[in-house]
Structure 1
Amino acid sequence: MTKSDLIERLTNCMQIRYDRAVSKTDVTAFLDALGDVAVAELQAGGEAPLPGLGRLTVKETATRTGRNPKTGEPMEIQGRRAPKFAAAKGLKDALK
């Protein structure tokens, strides 16, 4: 599914399920704002809930020792912060 497909389906769902006529421009602005808010919250060390889907958090990995595949020499792999998605129970149950 592409972003334009998602926007189209959300627009149709809002019309059918909620009897609300929203424009594709409004849906696009909402999705962009949701992304901006989620990024800002994760950068601040918080979590971003996605109701009905799950939540986004930040996972921090520690610095560790690895091996250079060419030489076999030990090397240090820097720790990092990465986004992590935890699915909600309802989403997990829907996929069973």
Structure 2
Amino acid sequence: MAAKPMTKAQLVSALAEKTGADKKTAGEHLDALTDIITGEVSGGGAVTLPGIGKIYCRERPERMVRNPATGEQIKKEADKVVKITVAKALKDSVNE
């Protein structure tokens, strides 16, 4: 396991090296991809990244939660949460 996660700058450098593009172009493409995914998921849709997984928005119903400090029960309103289902190919590559 890596000590630290890859930063955006490192990801942009790796993307530029892999595609043969310059870092500025690679950064613009990464930002565009982020914008597309954010727009689709925030609108209630889902995005499948082949070999990586599926990113989607799920609604959580209203529920009772407990304050761990006081033990008091509080009603939490319904909300939405972003979920990621990891692709089998990625899971298998980690366990090789």
TM-score > 0.5 by shorter chain: yes
Identity between Structure 1 and Structure 2 (%) = 36
Quick one: structure 1 residues 66 and 26, their matched pair in 2 at CA, closer, same or farther if it must change by over 3 Å? same
After TM superposition, the structure 1 = structure 2 runs for residues 75-94 of structure 1, keeping only pairs within 5 Å, are: 75-94=74-93
**Cα offset, 1:8, TM superposition:** 0.9
| 1:57 corresponding residue in structure 2 | 56
**Cα offset, 1:71, TM superposition:** 3.8
After TM superposition, the structure 1 = structure 2 runs for residues 15-54 of structure 1, keeping only pairs within 5 Å, are: 21-54=20-53
Number of positions where the alignment pairs a residue of Structure 1 with one of Structure 2: 90
TM-score relative to the length of structure 1:
0.83
When Rg is computed on C-alpha atoms for both structures, the one with the higher figure is: 1
TM-score relative to the length of structure 2:
0.83
* 2:72 maps to 1:67: no
Choose from 13, 22, 30 the match for 1:8: 13
Letter in 1 for 2:37: A
Cα RMSD of the aligned pairs, angstroms, is: 1.4
**Cα offset, 1:2, TM superposition:** 0.7
Ranges in structure 2 where 5+ consecutive residues have no aligned partner: 1-5
